[in-house]
Each structure stands twice: as C-alpha cells, then as structure tokens.
Amino acid sequence: MPEELRWRDAERNRSVLLREGLLGDAPAALEDEGWTGFELLSTERALAGAEGLAEAAGATHLVPPGQVPDVAAKVLDEVGSDRLVALGGGRVIDAAKAIAAVREGEVAAVPTTMSGAEMTAIHRLPAGHEGISGLRPALVLADPELMASAPEAELRASSMNALAHGADSLYTPLADELSRGSALRGARLIAASLDADRAGRDRSELALGSLLSANALDLAGLALHHVLSQTVVRVLGTPHAATSAALLPVTMEEMSGRAPEQIAALAEALGTDTDGIRRRIEQLGGGRRGLGELGADRARLGEAIEVAMARQELFRMTPGEIEAADLERLLEGAW
C-alpha cells in the first residue's frame, strides 16, 4: 500500500483521500479541497478524538441513536449550512446525506467504521421531508486507523459487511467490468488483511478493501443479500454489521447456484473455491454467529419475509426466481 492514496472520480464528482493519521489533518485537508464554512455532524464518541475538526466547524450537531429518517429529521432544523462534514459511522454519514438531499447541499465524509456509506448514493430522506435522491459524499477523508480500530470480533463483522457490499453487486444487471473489478480487488484486500497476524495487520489494506467494495455497490447496486439483511435489521432490530456477517455465508452459497461465474470469481478472490465459500466467509468473519444469537425474534420472521418480498429490487437485481420460501430457507440457515 502507498503511504497516501488519492482517488478522483470525475463522473461521480467524488474525491477520496486515504492516509494513516488523516483525522488529525482533517481541517487542513478540508481546506485544501476548498471546504470552508462547514458544519459538523457527529457523535460524542467520535468527537472525543477529533478536537481540531470540531474547532474548525461553524457548528457541531450530535446525531442521536435511531433510524436515519427519524434522526435526520431531528437534526435538520438545527443545520444552517449547505456544507456538512460527517464524522462517524453509517448512521451519521447517511443522516448527513439525507439532510443535504433536502437542503440541496453537499457532504464530506470522515468515516469511523467500514460501513461503506461514505462511498454510496444510498440513503433515505428525513421523515416528513422531500428531497433529491441518490446524493453521495463529494469528499471522503479515510483514515485507516480510524476505520479499522474496532475490537477484533467487531472488526471482523464489520469487514464481512464491507465484503458483502462488493459481493452482492457482482451479479446485478448493472454490474460491468469496472464494478466487478472493484468488488474483487476489495475482496482480495479484505481477505489478505484478515488472514494476517493481528499485530502486523495492514489497516490501510482493510480500509481500501472496504472503500472499493462500497464503490462496487455504488456502481452496480444491491440485490438479495442487502435486501434481506437490511430488512432483518429494520424489522427484527438486530445490529447491522453483525446481521450482514451472519447472512453472508448463506446468501453467497445460495448465489453460487444463481450466478455461478460471479461467485466462482469471488471465491477465488477469497482464496477458496465455490464449494468452500461458505466456510471461508465464516472463517474470515471469526466463526459462525447466527441471527438467534444477535437477538432476532423468530416469531417475527414471517413479518421480515413479507417486508423483503415487497422490495422490488429483490426481483429486479437478483438472478433467478425468488419466492417467500427461498427467503425463509435462507433465514433459517442463518439462524
């Protein structure tokens, strides 16, 4: 990995800077990119290590816990600038995107996790408000130490969620050579970093793998895995990254029969073959952990299946026929 990576995507009007220690240099990096007069969205936890960034902001707004449409609506009226810097995980970055979509503003993201929200135009709008759809951050300041600083078990779950972004994009109708190349390179980097001894792990490798995987999702869209994992999180209240990690071995095994060429390429990128992809993902994720262990209520599985079946991207983006019985089988397999 180079000491610093700069990535400018003119088509998506996006610039990405990846460098160790970037959080401490964030005010200067923002100024270099022409970002002045901004307001900051964050959490108390994230702000604890970002005094310089908070001082550079015209105002700081704390994003409360909850679903993005609700928390974005709570913060919306407090925001006075059309330039928002989001320091945090997926909830904070998605809230900033939602508010900017209503205000016709722009967002710079400083991710503290590997949620991928910093690279995508996927977001919901603040409750009770209308706005443009598909707003992605114009600037991403990625500090690998910050993104990959979670405890090992949490980090591996987050890494599997990152891997899922690229994996799910491989077989959509929008996938092409560029998106698949981004997804497969991301998968290789994530696997290589997690295979390394923890003390010698290259966090830059892991962070870049996450960025590339999310970029693939932004290019090609989501399908079966994300529809199912997002729905389980919203209906059953399970943790986002851990839910995605629990489902990914099962969904990729399912997709091996629906998109064999793409899953074979993914398996190779992960250092295995199609027959071993479920075991390999479980190993990279730190072992199997089922939805039941995450606190999911089995009595509500039917409700989750009904909600997932109402999402049209499930059918438009996933190869093959999909029935409720298929989703039930997958959820039971991940239990």
Whether this model's pTM surpasses 0.75: yes
pLDDT tens digits along 101-123 = 999 999 999 999 999 999 999 88
Which of 307, 57, 178 shows the shortest CA–CA distance to 169? 178
pLDDT tens for each residue of 242-272: 999 999 999 999 999 999 999 999 999 999 9
pLDDT at site 198: 84
By the 8 A CB rule, do 162 and 213 touch? yes
Amino acid at 291: L
Separation between Cα atoms, residue 107 and residue 86, nearest integer Å:
7
Confidence (pLDDT) at 51: 87
CB-CB contact of 58 with 82 (8 Å) = no
pLDDT at 124: 86
CA distance 201 to 274: 26
What single-letter amino acid sits at 240? H
pLDDT value at residue 1: 60
Query: How would you classify the pairing of strands 14-19 and 139-142?
Result: parallel
Domains of the chain, first to last? 4-147 (3.40.50.1970), 152-333 (1.20.1090.10)
Q: What is the pLDDT of residue 132?
A: 76
pLDDT at residue number 16: 97
**Which parts of the chain sit beneath pLDDT 50?**
none
Strand partners, 142: 18
Q: ∠ CA(116), CA(309), CA(292), 5° rounding?
A: 65
